[in-house]
Amino acid sequence: MAALTRTETWSLLVLFGACVGILVNTLQGDGNPLSASIAFGGAAFSVSFCLIRWLGDTFMKAGLKGKDMSKARKVEMSVGCS
């Protein structure tokens, strides 16, 4: 399991907290769909980033890998981050 660095942990925690704050503020008012969408996107990014780092080894052990189709030279890469 790849642990997050202290900087990554605090950055993602602040991002997630800000997104939750925006969502709570949006739900109390008339609602602003654009700010709610941005907040959901930020929260999803922070959760996804953590899960990829924590579960990357599990995916690599299962043999899950892929090719970066947006590159000219398609190199196989593992799902996990090192």
Domain ranges of the chain: 6-78
Q: What is the pLDDT of residues 35-79, one digit of tens each?
A: 999 999 999 999 999 988 888 778 778 877 777 777 787 766 655
User: What local confidence, expressed as pLDDT, does residue 53 receive?
Assistant: 85
Q: What is the DSSP string of 39-78?
A: HHHHHHHHHHHHHHHHHHHHHHHTT-EEE-TTSSS--EEE
Q: For position 78, what pLDDT does the model report?
A: 58
For residue 82, the model assigns a pLDDT of 46
| Structural contact between residues 60 and 1, judged by C-beta atoms closer than 8 angstroms | no
Q: Yes or no: say if 16 and 47 are a contact pair by the CB < 8 Å rule.
A: yes
